[in-house]
Structure 1
Amino acid sequence: MNTYELWSTSKVTNAMLQTLFSEDCGGAAVTMPIKAAVMPYLDEISLESRIMGACNTIVKVPTNGGYKLVGQNTDILGIRNVLLRALRSQFPTRIISPEASYPAETGAGVIIGGGATTRSAAHALALLGLSPLFLVNRDPAEVEAVQSSLSHLTIIHLKNSDDVETYLGQSGSPKVLMMVGAIPATAPVTPEERGVYSTVTTILIIPYVKPAQIDEGLPFPDKRMFLEMTYKPRSTPMLKVALAHGWHGIDGIQATIEQGLAQQRMWYLSDPSLRAGSDRSIFGIELEDSTRKLGESMNDIIPTCTEVDRALFNDDADALTDH
């Protein structure tokens, strides 16, 4: 019988590594603050984790005479897969492959934010074939950092509503099909915060004329999609604005569920690939739907005891050596 237990630590320790590389360990989910710190100790790092500079999943993969631990990032799949699931809900009779994407230059994406979740969202939207990508952010330095880390993508900074009109409000401008919000779920107070909401609202109210459907690739949505990554509260101020303007709203708990399902699929198959993480046939639609309903119905977990940092009682990890 498989078990899932908490290993709370603020840093990589020898004891943690011994557990990871033990015969009994089948893999791990990794959270802050060691998403980046653990990477040098793993046998292999996926392309997605290298691009993001972080891994949230460790998959135990069999090799000749042994195994290797591979670091992967399922935050990207959580975003991509939940958007695909929402698209399937608009086209229930159409078979939509988990690897399908839009043809080049047929749709654009928007992200609101500037941190790690923003980078995951940009990569996910790129996997869906959306380009260019537009970034709403009030801090030019954060935008430059995102653009530098994802230099293979075309990412355009939208500083204000005037930029929205320039890049998205003209005849022949790219059509925004999907938007991802990755900022805190607090109501805007300062002029700068209100400016972000004003910029986003200008995007939301751009008239949408659905393009003619094409036979190949993803279908164009009947209602454009807004995914809110924050899920406390589940109905955030930004999500309410998007819904008020007729967008297909998706709350953040859905993306959390999807990235968790991607982890489970990878662990089950001992396969860290994006294909494995998106294969809905592994557990079956019925089981996955029941899992989603359980996650959706759960209230926030209230701690009943104090979490203990195991790093306080264990030595820091040794210098890198062969396992």
Structure 2
Amino acid sequence: MAPVASYTAASAPAPPQHPTEAEIKDSPRRHHLFGFPISHSASPAFQNMLIQRSTLEQGGSAPFATYSLCETKSVEEAHMRALVREDARFGGSGVTMPLKVAVTARLGRGEILDELDEVARATSTVNTIVVYPSASGSTAVEDRRMIGTNTDYLGIRIAVLRNVATQNGLDASAYMAQSPAFRFPPDGRVADGSVPHSAIITGSGGTCRSAVWAATQLGLSPLYLLNRDAGETQDVVSHFAAGGYKLDLRPLRSVAEFDAEAERRASGETGNVACCIGAIPAITPQSDDEKMVYTLAHAFFREQYTPTASSTAPPAGAAYLPLPAARPFLEMCYKPRMTPLLKYASQQGWAAIGGVEAMIEQGLAQARMWAASEPILNGKLPERDPLSCATAAGDASPLGAQAEQEARDMVLAMQDVVVASAAVPDVPAVAPASTSLPAAAAVAA
């Protein structure tokens, strides 16, 4: 079950081994990744690095908390509910495809989740489960609440913010600390600041919904949706409309539709495109609909761009980003690191952001919340609200700034990760104490 990785930076820390069944059993805090297929995931290496470094740097020792792969094709599979609801040492988990949307469908004590936070409700997408005490403050296993949230949205938002900050020579951590306030300025070609910049989003499903929400919170509108399946795209549009969100979502299916929108951008009726978020796999397009996605994306990437920001004041509680010289394109797919679309956009002068950047940011948000909720597993109330810790970076992080940076460096240096298998772990009746040093801790000792 050990991952095989290659590195581009010899100085970066090596990833821990995937935890063994014995290490998981002895773990004081157990985390899992539910989904299928997940053998390619780099999340265990990243999360176990964070756990081990943070524990040691804060004076702790083995046995460490663990993060393990748990192949799950449906939320109806009994082991998922057992691990979440019956394990006294369950400390929260990651959720990936095909479960991100399905897990939000039913809530309550008999289900995986009790509640959804604001972002999960807006997107009907969950990639993270966070443990909370009951509303009355009970930490007993049978009383704990399982809250679903969506850190994919944060990963997208913060990855874009960090890129814009770096392009402008600014402190990226400062942008993150106040990330809810920052947004792109209106298009400066319209004097009164009434026309926002627009954005492109490729793909559909849960990741697309997260991208739509992130782009909207960044002040971008309209959002051009490019996808091979018209029905899937309409599902995204209908989802936000049904939720009462008045978003300007514009699916494009043909060159004629692109040309009509290009005229609106040229006239200033619609703002210039300032950002792109990609959410499609890096596979060679086969059907005409798949090829059209690439044709339209290439047309967008070739459009001329001159940063022109409005001089109008931002609304109360908001702050405008300085427009970057190169428009950011965040490609959520990170296998391979440089996808065909990312390569083409880079050649046209766009700023390439690999999907691993978003993976790092959403993973850090997960780990911060899980660390903040750890006291619940020991019968105590958390000192800080776990959900509010998602963006508590640097010195404010429950993990510590050094552990976060070491985990970031490790993932940025890694190439594709391959894991031999992803077993379903047993649910221990209790979490036995252990003073032995797990093999997974060797790199952190």
TM-score, reference length from structure 1: 0.86
Please name the residue that 1:89 is paired with: 166
Residue 290 of structure 1 and its aligned partner are, at CA, apart by: 2.4
Percent of aligned positions that are identical: 36
The residue number in structure 1 matching 2:251 is 157
* 2:391 counterpart (275, 278, 294): 278
Question: Aligned partners of 1:69, 1:277: CA distance in 2, in Å?
Answer: 16
1:69 aligns with 2:146: yes
Note the C-alpha offset of 1:145: 1.1
Judged with a 3 Å threshold, the aligned counterparts in structure 2 of structure 1 residues 6 and 307 are, in CA distance, closer, same or farther, namely closer
Contact 1:98–1:279 at 8 Å: present in 2 too? no
Q: 1:177, CA displacement in angstroms? A: 0.9
Are 1:58 and 2:135 counterparts? no
> Post-superposition shift, 1:89?
0.8
Aligned partner of residue 259 in structure 2, secondary structure: helix
Once residues 99 and 230 of structure 2 are traced to their aligned partners in structure 1, the CA distance between those partners, rounded to angstroms, is: 27
Query: Structure 1 residue 17 and structure 2 residue 81: aligned?
Result: yes
Asked if the contact 2:275/2:328 (under 8 Å) is kept, the reply is yes
Residue 140 (structure 2) pairs with residue 27 (structure 1): no
- 1:180 to 2:277 alignment: yes
Does residue 295 of structure 1 match 2:411? yes
Q: Is the 8 A contact 1:10 1:309 kept in 2?
A: no
CA distance 1:184–1:19, change in 2 (3 Å): closer
Deviations 1:219-248 (A, max 9, x none): 222210111111111111111110010000
SS class of match (1:10) = coil
Which residue does the alignment assign to 2:115?
Answer: 44
Aligned partner of 2:361 in structure 1 is: 258
Distance of aligned partners of 1:230 and 1:15 in 2 relative to their CA distance in 1, 3 Å threshold: closer
> How far is 1:16 from its partner?
3.6
CA–CA distance in structure 1, aligned partners of residues 367 and 117 of structure 2: 17
CA distance in 1, matches of 2:83, 2:289: 46
Deviation, 1:79, is 0.9
Q: CA deviation at 1:206?
A: 1.6
CA distance in 2, matches of 1:79, 1:14: 32
Partner of residue 171, structure 1: 267
| Secondary structure at 2:125 match in 1 | coil
* Counterparts of 1:288 and 1:309, CA distance in 2: 28
State the 1:106 CA deviation. Answer: 2.6
Shift of 1:37: 4.4
Long gaps (5+) in structure 2? 1-63, 187-194, 314-318, 374-384, 428-445
SS at match of 1:7: strand
CA distance in 2: counterparts of 1:13 and 1:198, whole angstroms: 40
Distance 2:203 2:220 in 1: 18
Does the 8 Å contact 2:393/2:401 carry over to 1? yes
Deviations 1:25-60 (A, max 9, x none): 221112334334444322211222233333111111
The C-alpha deviation readout for 1:234-291, integer Å capped at 9, x for no partner, is 1111111100100001111211121111101111223453x53222231455443321
Q: 2:344 aligns with which of 230, 234, 241?
A: 241
> How far 1:186 moved relative to its partner?
2.1
For 2:343, the aligned partner's letter is: K
Contact 1:109 1:178 in 2 (8 A): yes
SS across alignment from 2:416: coil
Structure 2 matches for 1:97-246, cutoff 5 A? 97-99=178-180, 100-102=182-184, 105-151=195-241, 152=245, 153-169=247-263, 170-172=266-268, 173-212=270-309, 214=311, 216-246=319-349
Where structure 1 has 5 or more consecutive residues not aligned to the other structure, the ranges are: 314-323
The 2-side partners of 1:103 and 1:213 are apart by 6
Contact 1:72 1:272 in 2 (8 A): no
What's the Cα RMSD here? 2.5
Shift in Å at residue 130 of structure 1? 1.0
Cα separation, partners in 2 of 1:224 and 1:284, compared to 1, 3 Å: farther
Alpha-carbon offset, residue 296 of structure 1: 1.8
| Structure exhibiting the larger radius of gyration computed from Cα positions | 2
Q: Secondary structure at the match of 1:20?
A: helix
Counterpart CA distance in 1 for 2:413 and 2:272 is 35
The 1:272–1:177 alpha-carbon spacing in structure 2 relative to 1, beyond 3 Å, is farther
Q: Select 1:6's aligned residue among 45, 69, 79.
A: 69
2: CA distance, partners of 1:137 / 1:227: 16
For the 8 Å contact 2:69–2:424, the answer to whether it is kept is no
Q: Select between 155-164 and 282-291 the one with higher mean Cα deviation.
A: 282-291
